[in-house]
Structure 1
Amino acid sequence: VLLKSLSQMAFYFSNLILQTATRKNGKLTGKMYDEFKSMGYSLDYRVINTRDYDVPQSRERIIIFGTKKNNKKLIDDFFIKLEKKKGNRVSVYTALEDLPFLHAGQEVNTYNKSMPNDYIRKYYRMSKKFPLTQNIARPHNERDLDIYKIVVSSKEKGYNLKYNELPTQLKTHKSDDKFLDRFKALSWNQPSHTVVAHIAKDGHHYIHPDKKQNRSITVREAARIQGFPDDFYFETSRTSAFTQIGNAVPPIFSEKIAQVIAELEIE
């Protein structure tokens, strides 16, 4: 009964978001609360960052849990148990350590010679038979490649370079006082910033941290940062794959939510 109610809740949730997301005035969360309460649900929520749950990505999301009956204890237990599922923060390097060296426009579907670390074996290569697929990087023009080198060099020093700080000859936009974070590199020793569906348009926000490779991240690298195992194949094109990855809830985090629901004492 609970699973049916949760599925129904998710259905209403998605429709309600579509109905209210474009409305002006009023808070979306309050509107959703009112809608679900009118259907007999009790709700609570937390702002969760997936970087605290073994996902190599800083990704803040509102997690809402509700019951059809007024069961505050069950709701509290869900968030208490979820808190206990926290793990270590995982760096980009830890998540990508065994992936091959490649340049912009290349596809290399063989692991490098290093042994996969414990984290990779747990979440990405659970079997020695796992294939490596879709490790394909976008091609980039020379201007972008020159910009990438500068941005990564700055990131290595701990600074996110702004667009207006680029050399004049590399700027293509007339206005350099807006959208100053057009280019952003990942850091080897930190979780990635949030991967969003816009990665399907270009890779300028997801520049690989290795300056020698000088490119944006591959489909497979993005998938790992989002928490997909290596045997997950994305249909049907590179652009579609990036869109699917950017729109996904990290599977590593989703699994922890499912584990918590399975552990709850439900009457």
Structure 2
Amino acid sequence: MKRYRQMESLHRTLRFAARIVPLRKRALWQDEWVAELSYMLEEDSATALGCREGMMRDAITLRWLAVVNAWRAIDWREPGLCLRLIAILFVSLFVESMARSQLRHLAFSKWGYGAFACFIALALFSLPSTMVTSRYSACEAYEGETASFRQRFVRWRFLAGKLALLVLSAYMLALQVTQLFQHLLGAWADWVLVACGLVFNVIAASWALTDQRERCPTCMRLLKNPARMGPPSWSLLGSCATEEMCDRGHGLLHQPEWQTSWFENARWLQLDRTWKELFHP
């Protein structure tokens, strides 16, 4: 192969591989490979052509490492990330439902408006029962804490946002399930919507309340490092519970294994500012 053909082939490979490399490292990566290839072309052109496979592997490795580092850098405990993921779920279901003309006409008809009102009513009726089954209403975690009005407002806004997005996502999913049986059952398909409303609302509300209980009442981040406190034989007068902590140093949550005479429900231990030096900023 002539020299200019070799250089053209290497240039195409280098340009294609550079698109795979992360943008932050692309310029330095190109300069290093241009210098390496220029030296190898002067010494042995056949060896330079053999470097194309190594060039692609190097670019793919850098891209893979960038993806892995970006994945590890995600803070899964952040409340904002939780809301964004639920919002993505709702938008995906909404777009997928509205892409079907039959389902779109069904949702914006008189039947659809009535079904939406019925679904919201089922969500409101199922909320008290899910609070009892999830033991959220009996949680003593927030008693005695010195939270400001803003912190309490953010806490309840976060819970309301989760419930609203989850209920709307459940409604779009229930519409899709009902539409599958619309032609087979006719008017009886409404009972499919009622059944889906009960099941989906209970699942959504239970998860939202359980997730809320597992978060710090101050910063709303998920608690971490669960540790067993005390043996089961201390269930009457001692402590047999699981202790979780906030990684920002706001406090500790004690959750008993079962209701005992020592304490029945989860309790939140608020830590003062002197403890924050032991935690991450």
**TM-score using structure 2 length:** 0.21
Q: Specify which structure has the bigger relative contact order, considering alpha-carbon pairs within 8 angstroms and separated by 6 or more residues.
A: 1
Between Structure 1 and Structure 2, whose CA radius of gyration is higher? 2
Higher normalized helix content (fraction of residues): 2
